[in-house]
Amino acid sequence: MTWPHRAVVRQALVDLRASPGHDAELVDQAHWGEHVRVLGAEGDWRYVQGEDLYFGWCTRASLYQFTKYGRNAVVTVILAPVRERPAPASAVIAELPCGALVPETRLSTGAGGLVPAPSPLGGWLEVSILGDRGERTGFISGEHVAALVDVPHGYPTPSDLLRTAEAFIGAPYLWGGTTARGMDCSGFVQQVYRLNGLSLPRDADQQATLGTKVEDAAPGDLLFFGAESVTHVALATGARDFLHAPMSGGVVERGQLGGDRTLSAIRRYLPPVPEVGGG
């Protein structure tokens, strides 16, 4: 998981360009006060995604970048059990998916007391969660979360996407699903990108309208399939290899181009510049 820096637009209107330069194609505009995610950098330019999900380049000076992230925690395992009591053997009453934000307000010591949660976290976090029997109090182990300030902040890379995707291998297919308990093809790639700070629409045909069209696949690109319309999406791990949630009864698995699926498009969402560390 990578957590890109957030920023707020500080000019009345900011042009978002297709590439880092004032003469590049205008692809979108961001308004004063709009929040964006900073996904890459080249010189004084920043590659951002705005609230409308479009991507583009703007100058660093047009943004105010946040450097503090409050006292929230984030789930860092595929599924974090919420237990009835702050004890490893206690009954599981719910599960929180990876990436879920947890208010870092109270932490149980397991000895009957609640104290402010430190960072890094330890012990158990108390949460309130709605279940079949109404709202209940539960506890999440500090081993399954991290203080948001401690999560790696920087620009997501193809390697980040692949590591996240591989963690879901074996997850069962579920039409409309978006967690390790079950996910469909578009839900799978959406969550991989979300856990690395990029937002994609829910359906494959919508995802195919964003990003940049490329001819040859590279790791982290999305492959779209369908003869007349987009009917399937996969995450490229190489020029011909990919990971996907294939069909009902299947699981997230590796695949290769060929067979009865017709490749209709390849889209790239990360900036087309050399990978750069956070900043």
C-alpha neighbours within 13 Å on the C-beta side of residue 97: 15
Distant-in-sequence, close-in-space partners of 194: CB < 8 Å, separation ≥ 6:
99, 200
153 carries an active-site annotation = no
φ, ψ for residue 6, nearest 5 deg: -100, 155
**Angle, CA 268 vertex, CA 181 and CA 148 arms, to 5°:** 55
Asked if omega into 120 is within 30° of 0 (cis), the reply is yes
**Candidate list 5, 144, 153, 244, residue with the active-site label:** 244
Look at residue 145 and give its three-state secondary structure.
strand
Which secondary structure element, helix H or strand E, spans residue 263, and what is its range?
Answer: strand 263-268
Terminal Cα distance for the chain, rounded: 17
185 carries an active-site annotation = yes
**Candidate list 5, 98, 153, 185, residue with the active-site label:** 185
244 carries an active-site annotation = yes
Strand 263-268: give its sheet, edge to edge. 212-213, 263-268, 222-225, 232-236, 241-244, 253-256
Cβ 221 vs Cβ 239: under 8 Å: no
C-alpha neighbours within 13 Å on the C-beta side of residue 127: 29
Q: b vs e for 215-243, b when ≥16 Cβ sit within 10 Å of the residue's Cβ?
A: eebebbbbbbbbeeebebbbbbbeeebbb
**Candidate list 5, 144, 153, 232, residue with the active-site label:** 232
Residue that is written with structure tokens 């469909």 in the block? 184
As annotated, the active-site residues are 185, 232, 244
